[in-house]
Amino acid sequence: MTQSANALSNTPLTVFTEDEQLLRNTISEFATNQIRPLVRKMDEEAHLDKEIIKQCFDLNLMGIHIPEAYGGASGSFFMSIIAVEEISRVDASLGVCVDVQNTLVNNAFMRWGNDDVKKRYLSRLATDTVGAYALSEAGSGSDAFALATRAEDKGDHFLLNGRKLWITNANEADIFVVFANANLSAGYKGITAFIVERGFPGFTVGKKEDKLGIRASSTCELLLEDCRVPKENVLGEVGKGYKVAIETLNEGRIGIGAQMIGLARGALEYGVAYSKERAQFGKPIADFQAIQFQIAEMATELEAARLMVYNAARLKDAGMPFLKEAAMAKYYSSMVAEHVTSRVVEIYGGYGYTKDYPAEKYYRDAKIGKIYEGTSNMQLQTIAKIVLGER
Protein backbone atom coordinates (compact mmCIF):
# COMPACT_ATOMS: atom_id res chain seq x y z
CA MET A 1 0.00 0.00 0.00
CA THR A 2 2.99 2.34 0.37
CA GLN A 3 3.34 2.82 -3.37
CA SER A 4 -0.37 3.60 -3.71
CA ALA A 5 -0.23 6.04 -0.83
CA ASN A 6 2.65 7.90 -2.42
CA ALA A 7 0.87 8.05 -5.76
CA LEU A 8 -2.11 9.68 -4.06
CA SER A 9 -0.09 12.30 -2.20
CA ASN A 10 2.84 13.35 -4.40
CA THR A 11 1.33 16.29 -6.24
CA PRO A 12 0.47 18.59 -3.30
CA LEU A 13 3.95 18.26 -1.76
CA THR A 14 5.12 21.24 -3.81
CA VAL A 15 2.81 23.56 -1.85
CA PHE A 16 4.32 22.62 1.54
CA THR A 17 7.10 24.47 3.30
CA GLU A 18 9.91 22.45 4.86
CA ASP A 19 8.34 22.75 8.32
CA GLU A 20 4.93 21.73 7.00
CA GLN A 21 6.36 18.70 5.22
CA LEU A 22 8.25 17.66 8.37
CA LEU A 23 5.04 17.93 10.39
CA ARG A 24 3.14 15.95 7.78
CA ASN A 25 5.72 13.17 7.77
CA THR A 26 5.76 13.00 11.57
CA ILE A 27 1.98 12.78 11.86
CA SER A 28 1.70 10.28 9.01
CA GLU A 29 4.18 7.99 10.76
CA PHE A 30 2.38 8.44 14.08
CA ALA A 31 -0.99 7.67 12.49
CA THR A 32 0.27 4.56 10.70
CA ASN A 33 2.28 3.10 13.56
CA GLN A 34 0.39 4.18 16.67
CA ILE A 35 -3.21 4.93 15.69
CA ARG A 36 -3.94 2.29 13.05
CA PRO A 37 -3.51 -0.72 15.41
CA LEU A 38 -6.21 0.78 17.66
CA VAL A 39 -8.77 1.82 15.06
CA ARG A 40 -10.97 -1.29 15.00
CA LYS A 41 -11.03 -1.64 18.79
CA MET A 42 -11.91 2.03 19.27
CA ASP A 43 -14.68 1.79 16.67
CA GLU A 44 -16.17 -1.35 18.19
CA GLU A 45 -15.98 -0.06 21.76
CA ALA A 46 -17.08 3.44 20.69
CA HIS A 47 -14.51 5.42 22.60
CA LEU A 48 -11.11 6.97 21.99
CA ASP A 49 -8.09 5.39 23.63
CA LYS A 50 -6.89 7.68 26.43
CA GLU A 51 -3.25 6.93 25.76
CA ILE A 52 -3.53 7.92 22.09
CA ILE A 53 -5.06 11.25 23.11
CA LYS A 54 -2.16 11.75 25.52
CA GLN A 55 0.25 11.06 22.67
CA CYS A 56 -1.52 13.72 20.59
CA PHE A 57 -0.79 16.20 23.38
CA ASP A 58 2.80 14.97 23.68
CA LEU A 59 3.30 15.62 19.96
CA ASN A 60 1.76 19.10 20.36
CA LEU A 61 -1.06 18.19 17.99
CA MET A 62 -3.72 19.61 20.31
CA GLY A 63 -2.26 23.10 20.39
CA ILE A 64 -0.70 23.53 16.98
CA HIS A 65 -1.25 27.26 16.57
CA ILE A 66 -1.34 28.17 20.26
CA PRO A 67 1.72 30.39 21.01
CA GLU A 68 4.76 28.78 22.62
CA ALA A 69 4.29 31.08 25.62
CA TYR A 70 1.22 29.00 26.51
CA GLY A 71 2.82 25.65 25.71
CA GLY A 72 1.67 25.42 22.11
CA ALA A 73 3.60 24.89 18.89
CA SER A 74 3.15 28.41 17.45
CA GLY A 75 2.25 26.84 14.13
CA SER A 76 -0.15 28.03 11.44
CA PHE A 77 -3.79 27.24 10.87
CA PHE A 78 -2.67 25.34 7.76
CA MET A 79 -0.56 23.09 9.97
CA SER A 80 -3.69 22.17 11.91
CA ILE A 81 -5.32 21.23 8.62
CA ILE A 82 -2.36 19.00 7.77
CA ALA A 83 -2.72 17.26 11.14
CA VAL A 84 -6.45 16.66 10.74
CA GLU A 85 -6.00 15.27 7.23
CA GLU A 86 -3.17 12.90 8.12
CA ILE A 87 -4.89 11.55 11.23
CA SER A 88 -8.24 11.16 9.45
CA ARG A 89 -6.50 9.16 6.72
CA VAL A 90 -6.23 6.46 9.38
CA ASP A 91 -9.08 7.29 11.77
CA ALA A 92 -11.66 10.04 11.27
CA SER A 93 -12.80 9.75 14.90
CA LEU A 94 -9.47 10.87 16.30
CA GLY A 95 -9.22 13.28 13.39
CA VAL A 96 -12.33 15.17 14.47
CA CYS A 97 -11.14 15.24 18.09
CA VAL A 98 -7.96 17.01 16.98
CA ASP A 99 -9.97 19.17 14.58
CA VAL A 100 -12.45 20.49 17.16
CA GLN A 101 -9.64 21.20 19.59
CA ASN A 102 -7.64 23.25 17.10
CA THR A 103 -10.05 24.87 14.66
CA LEU A 104 -12.93 25.57 17.04
CA VAL A 105 -11.93 25.64 20.71
CA ASN A 106 -8.36 26.94 20.51
CA ASN A 107 -9.33 29.37 17.77
CA ALA A 108 -12.14 30.79 19.87
CA PHE A 109 -9.90 31.30 22.89
CA MET A 110 -7.09 32.87 20.89
CA ARG A 111 -9.36 35.24 18.98
CA TRP A 112 -11.86 36.21 21.66
CA GLY A 113 -10.17 35.55 25.00
CA ASN A 114 -8.73 38.43 27.02
CA ASP A 115 -5.29 38.11 28.61
CA ASP A 116 -6.71 36.57 31.79
CA VAL A 117 -8.70 33.95 29.89
CA LYS A 118 -5.72 33.06 27.73
CA LYS A 119 -3.47 32.66 30.76
CA ARG A 120 -5.97 30.44 32.54
CA TYR A 121 -6.97 28.18 29.67
CA LEU A 122 -4.63 28.12 26.67
CA SER A 123 -1.80 26.34 28.48
CA ARG A 124 -4.23 23.63 29.60
CA LEU A 125 -5.66 23.22 26.09
CA ALA A 126 -2.16 23.00 24.63
CA THR A 127 -0.75 20.47 27.08
CA ASP A 128 -3.30 18.13 28.65
CA THR A 129 -6.95 19.20 28.47
CA VAL A 130 -9.47 18.40 25.74
CA GLY A 131 -11.97 21.12 24.81
CA ALA A 132 -15.49 21.01 23.35
CA TYR A 133 -17.69 23.51 21.52
CA ALA A 134 -21.35 23.55 22.56
CA LEU A 135 -23.66 25.42 20.22
CA SER A 136 -26.23 22.91 18.91
CA GLU A 137 -29.55 22.15 20.58
CA ALA A 138 -32.63 20.08 19.77
CA GLY A 139 -34.29 23.05 18.05
CA SER A 140 -31.12 24.81 17.00
CA GLY A 141 -29.18 23.05 14.26
CA SER A 142 -29.02 24.80 10.91
CA ASP A 143 -30.94 27.64 12.60
CA ALA A 144 -27.94 28.06 14.87
CA PHE A 145 -29.21 31.04 16.83
CA ALA A 146 -32.61 29.67 17.88
CA LEU A 147 -31.07 28.87 21.26
CA ALA A 148 -33.23 27.76 24.17
CA THR A 149 -30.35 27.74 26.67
CA ARG A 150 -30.59 30.82 28.90
CA ALA A 151 -28.03 32.78 30.93
CA GLU A 152 -29.29 34.86 33.86
CA ASP A 153 -27.09 37.68 35.16
CA LYS A 154 -26.64 37.34 38.94
CA GLY A 155 -24.13 40.12 39.50
CA ASP A 156 -20.78 38.37 39.89
CA HIS A 157 -21.87 35.28 37.98
CA PHE A 158 -24.35 33.90 35.46
CA LEU A 159 -26.74 30.98 35.94
CA LEU A 160 -27.06 28.84 32.82
CA ASN A 161 -30.06 26.59 32.18
CA GLY A 162 -30.62 24.44 29.13
CA ARG A 163 -29.66 21.34 27.18
CA LYS A 164 -27.09 21.02 24.42
CA LEU A 165 -27.01 18.18 21.88
CA TRP A 166 -24.48 16.65 19.45
CA ILE A 167 -21.45 17.96 21.32
CA THR A 168 -18.25 16.47 19.94
CA ASN A 169 -15.48 15.60 22.45
CA ALA A 170 -17.94 15.90 25.35
CA ASN A 171 -16.81 12.70 27.11
CA GLU A 172 -13.14 13.59 26.91
CA ALA A 173 -13.39 17.35 27.48
CA ASP A 174 -12.90 19.30 30.68
CA ILE A 175 -13.32 22.75 29.11
CA PHE A 176 -16.45 23.71 27.16
CA VAL A 177 -17.35 26.79 25.14
CA VAL A 178 -21.11 26.99 25.78
CA PHE A 179 -23.47 29.39 23.99
CA ALA A 180 -26.53 30.76 25.78
CA ASN A 181 -28.83 33.75 25.42
CA ALA A 182 -28.31 36.36 28.14
CA ASN A 183 -30.93 38.78 26.79
CA LEU A 184 -34.02 37.27 25.15
CA SER A 185 -35.42 40.63 24.10
CA ALA A 186 -32.30 41.27 22.00
CA GLY A 187 -32.75 38.06 19.98
CA TYR A 188 -29.52 36.70 18.53
CA LYS A 189 -27.70 39.77 19.88
CA GLY A 190 -28.22 38.38 23.36
CA ILE A 191 -26.23 35.23 22.61
CA THR A 192 -23.08 34.98 24.71
CA ALA A 193 -20.19 32.51 24.80
CA PHE A 194 -19.31 31.13 28.22
CA ILE A 195 -16.35 29.04 29.38
CA VAL A 196 -17.70 26.15 31.44
CA GLU A 197 -15.50 23.63 33.23
CA ARG A 198 -16.61 20.07 33.83
CA GLY A 199 -16.55 20.55 37.60
CA PHE A 200 -18.85 23.59 37.69
CA PRO A 201 -21.95 23.01 39.86
CA GLY A 202 -25.04 22.33 37.79
CA PHE A 203 -23.13 21.08 34.75
CA THR A 204 -23.45 17.46 33.59
CA VAL A 205 -22.31 15.52 30.53
CA GLY A 206 -25.29 13.36 29.64
CA LYS A 207 -26.15 10.65 27.16
CA LYS A 208 -23.57 9.58 24.60
CA GLU A 209 -25.08 9.03 21.16
CA ASP A 210 -24.82 5.61 19.47
CA LYS A 211 -23.78 6.66 15.98
CA LEU A 212 -23.47 5.24 12.47
CA GLY A 213 -19.92 6.47 11.94
CA ILE A 214 -16.99 8.14 13.73
CA ARG A 215 -18.15 5.94 16.59
CA ALA A 216 -15.05 6.38 18.75
CA SER A 217 -15.60 10.13 18.78
CA SER A 218 -17.93 11.03 21.65
CA THR A 219 -21.09 12.94 20.78
CA CYS A 220 -23.09 13.77 23.90
CA GLU A 221 -25.77 15.96 25.39
CA LEU A 222 -24.88 18.57 28.00
CA LEU A 223 -27.24 19.44 30.86
CA LEU A 224 -27.09 22.84 32.52
CA GLU A 225 -29.25 23.21 35.64
CA ASP A 226 -28.53 26.48 37.42
CA CYS A 227 -24.94 26.08 36.29
CA ARG A 228 -22.93 28.82 37.98
CA VAL A 229 -20.42 30.50 35.65
CA PRO A 230 -18.19 33.34 36.93
CA LYS A 231 -18.42 36.67 35.12
CA GLU A 232 -14.76 36.40 34.17
CA ASN A 233 -15.64 33.26 32.17
CA VAL A 234 -17.48 35.16 29.47
CA LEU A 235 -15.56 34.56 26.24
CA GLY A 236 -15.49 37.83 24.33
CA GLU A 237 -18.32 40.18 25.28
CA VAL A 238 -21.84 39.66 26.55
CA GLY A 239 -24.15 39.69 23.53
CA LYS A 240 -21.35 39.03 21.04
CA GLY A 241 -21.57 35.25 21.13
CA TYR A 242 -23.12 35.16 17.69
CA LYS A 243 -19.90 36.67 16.31
CA VAL A 244 -17.79 34.11 18.17
CA ALA A 245 -19.93 31.31 16.74
CA ILE A 246 -20.09 32.51 13.14
CA GLU A 247 -16.44 33.39 12.75
CA THR A 248 -15.16 30.28 14.52
CA LEU A 249 -17.42 27.95 12.54
CA ASN A 250 -16.24 29.48 9.28
CA GLU A 251 -12.75 28.27 10.19
CA GLY A 252 -14.02 24.98 11.56
CA ARG A 253 -15.54 24.10 8.19
CA ILE A 254 -12.08 24.01 6.69
CA GLY A 255 -11.15 21.51 9.38
CA ILE A 256 -14.09 19.27 8.45
CA GLY A 257 -12.94 19.54 4.84
CA ALA A 258 -9.53 18.25 5.97
CA GLN A 259 -11.18 15.37 7.81
CA MET A 260 -13.12 14.44 4.68
CA ILE A 261 -10.15 14.52 2.30
CA GLY A 262 -8.12 12.55 4.83
CA LEU A 263 -10.60 9.72 5.15
CA ALA A 264 -11.26 9.70 1.40
CA ARG A 265 -7.53 9.42 0.81
CA GLY A 266 -7.22 6.57 3.30
CA ALA A 267 -10.11 4.70 1.68
CA LEU A 268 -8.73 5.17 -1.82
CA GLU A 269 -5.29 3.94 -0.78
CA TYR A 270 -6.89 0.70 0.40
CA GLY A 271 -9.03 0.50 -2.74
CA VAL A 272 -6.08 0.91 -5.08
CA ALA A 273 -4.05 -1.72 -3.22
CA TYR A 274 -6.93 -4.20 -3.16
CA SER A 275 -7.69 -3.73 -6.86
CA LYS A 276 -4.20 -5.08 -7.56
CA GLU A 277 -4.76 -8.09 -5.31
CA ARG A 278 -8.31 -9.13 -6.17
CA ALA A 279 -8.41 -11.35 -9.26
CA GLN A 280 -11.41 -11.98 -11.51
CA PHE A 281 -11.42 -13.75 -14.88
CA GLY A 282 -7.79 -14.68 -14.37
CA LYS A 283 -6.28 -11.24 -13.71
CA PRO A 284 -6.31 -8.42 -11.14
CA ILE A 285 -9.37 -6.19 -11.41
CA ALA A 286 -6.97 -3.23 -11.68
CA ASP A 287 -6.27 -4.44 -15.22
CA PHE A 288 -9.86 -3.77 -16.28
CA GLN A 289 -10.52 -0.38 -17.80
CA ALA A 290 -13.78 -0.01 -15.86
CA ILE A 291 -11.87 -0.14 -12.55
CA GLN A 292 -9.04 2.01 -13.88
CA PHE A 293 -11.47 4.75 -14.88
CA GLN A 294 -13.22 4.63 -11.50
CA ILE A 295 -9.89 5.00 -9.71
CA ALA A 296 -8.85 7.83 -12.03
CA GLU A 297 -12.11 9.68 -11.36
CA MET A 298 -11.79 9.23 -7.60
CA ALA A 299 -8.17 10.38 -7.58
CA THR A 300 -9.09 13.47 -9.61
CA GLU A 301 -12.02 14.38 -7.37
CA LEU A 302 -9.86 13.90 -4.28
CA GLU A 303 -7.09 16.08 -5.70
CA ALA A 304 -9.57 18.86 -6.45
CA ALA A 305 -11.06 18.64 -2.95
CA ARG A 306 -7.63 18.74 -1.30
CA LEU A 307 -6.59 21.83 -3.21
CA MET A 308 -9.86 23.56 -2.28
CA VAL A 309 -9.28 22.79 1.41
CA TYR A 310 -5.64 23.89 1.22
CA ASN A 311 -6.58 27.11 -0.56
CA ALA A 312 -9.17 28.03 2.07
CA ALA A 313 -6.66 27.39 4.84
CA ARG A 314 -3.97 29.46 3.13
CA LEU A 315 -6.40 32.34 2.69
CA LYS A 316 -7.27 32.18 6.39
CA ASP A 317 -3.60 32.30 7.37
CA ALA A 318 -3.01 35.22 5.01
CA GLY A 319 -5.78 37.24 6.64
CA MET A 320 -7.76 37.31 3.40
CA PRO A 321 -11.52 36.67 2.95
CA PHE A 322 -12.19 32.93 2.90
CA LEU A 323 -15.90 32.47 3.70
CA LYS A 324 -16.89 31.35 0.20
CA GLU A 325 -13.82 29.16 -0.19
CA ALA A 326 -14.41 27.49 3.20
CA ALA A 327 -18.03 26.73 2.32
CA MET A 328 -17.02 25.36 -1.08
CA ALA A 329 -14.26 23.23 0.42
CA LYS A 330 -16.56 21.78 3.07
CA TYR A 331 -19.37 21.14 0.60
CA TYR A 332 -17.23 19.56 -2.10
CA SER A 333 -14.91 17.52 0.13
CA SER A 334 -17.85 15.91 1.96
CA MET A 335 -19.44 15.00 -1.37
CA VAL A 336 -16.16 13.53 -2.63
CA ALA A 337 -15.64 11.57 0.60
CA GLU A 338 -19.07 9.96 0.33
CA HIS A 339 -18.53 9.09 -3.34
CA VAL A 340 -15.00 7.74 -2.94
CA THR A 341 -15.74 5.60 0.11
CA SER A 342 -18.84 4.14 -1.56
CA ARG A 343 -16.85 3.20 -4.67
CA VAL A 344 -14.12 1.63 -2.56
CA VAL A 345 -16.70 -0.62 -0.88
CA GLU A 346 -17.68 -1.78 -4.38
CA ILE A 347 -14.08 -2.43 -5.37
CA TYR A 348 -13.84 -4.79 -2.41
CA GLY A 349 -17.01 -6.55 -3.54
CA GLY A 350 -18.70 -8.63 -0.85
CA TYR A 351 -15.74 -8.16 1.48
CA GLY A 352 -16.30 -4.42 1.38
CA TYR A 353 -19.59 -4.91 3.17
CA THR A 354 -18.00 -6.73 6.10
CA LYS A 355 -16.21 -5.41 9.15
CA ASP A 356 -13.22 -7.65 8.45
CA TYR A 357 -12.02 -5.06 5.92
CA PRO A 358 -11.56 -1.30 6.34
CA ALA A 359 -13.78 -0.11 3.48
CA GLU A 360 -17.09 -0.19 5.37
CA LYS A 361 -15.78 1.95 8.23
CA TYR A 362 -14.54 4.65 5.88
CA TYR A 363 -17.97 4.60 4.23
CA ARG A 364 -19.77 4.96 7.57
CA ASP A 365 -17.43 7.71 8.73
CA ALA A 366 -17.88 9.77 5.56
CA LYS A 367 -21.61 10.44 5.93
CA ILE A 368 -21.28 12.92 8.81
CA GLY A 369 -19.34 15.33 6.58
CA LYS A 370 -22.54 16.48 4.89
CA ILE A 371 -24.24 17.11 8.24
CA TYR A 372 -22.14 18.67 10.98
CA GLU A 373 -20.64 22.15 11.17
CA GLY A 374 -23.13 23.31 8.56
CA THR A 375 -25.09 20.95 6.31
CA SER A 376 -24.42 20.80 2.59
CA ASN A 377 -27.56 22.84 1.98
CA MET A 378 -26.32 25.56 4.32
CA GLN A 379 -22.98 25.65 2.49
CA LEU A 380 -24.78 26.03 -0.82
CA GLN A 381 -26.82 28.86 0.63
CA THR A 382 -23.66 30.63 1.79
CA ILE A 383 -21.95 30.16 -1.57
CA ALA A 384 -25.01 31.36 -3.50
CA LYS A 385 -25.35 34.53 -1.40
CA ILE A 386 -21.73 35.47 -1.96
CA VAL A 387 -21.67 34.64 -5.66
CA LEU A 388 -24.93 36.49 -6.33
CA GLY A 389 -23.66 39.44 -4.35
CA GLU A 390 -20.52 39.61 -6.48
CA ARG A 391 -22.38 40.03 -9.76
Residues with catalytic function? 373
**In the chain, what is the straight-line distance between the N-terminal and C-terminal CA atoms, in Å?**
47
- CB 158, CB 151: distance < 8 Å: yes
Beta pairing, strands 173-181 & 130-134? parallel
- CB 109, CB 118: distance < 8 Å: yes
Instruction: Please give the angle made by the CA atoms of 236, 114 and 222, to the nearest 5 degrees.
Output: 50
Q: SS3 letters for the chain?
A: CHHHHHHCCCHHHHHCCHHHHHHHHHHHHHHHHHHHHHHHHHHHHCCCCHHHHHHHHHCCCCCCCCCHHHCCCCCCHHHHHHHHHHHHCCCHHHHHHHHHHHHHHHHHHHHHCCHHHHHHHHHHHHHCCEEEEECCECCECCCCCCCCCEEEECCCEEEEEEEEEEEECCCCEEEEEEEEECCHHHHHHHEEEEEEECCCCCEEEEEECCCCCCCCCCEEEEEEEEEEEEHHHEECCCCCHHHHHHHHHHHHHHHHHHHHHHHHHHHHHHHHHHHHHCEECCEEHHHCHHHHHHHHHHHHHHHHHHHHHHHHHHHHHCCCCCHHHHHHHHHHHHHHHHHHHHHHHHHHHHHHHCCCCCHHHHHHHHHHHHCCCCCHHHHHHHHHHHHHHHC
- CB 86, CB 27: distance < 8 Å: yes
Round to whole Å and give the CA distance between 341 and 361. Answer: 9
- CB 140, CB 147: distance < 8 Å: yes
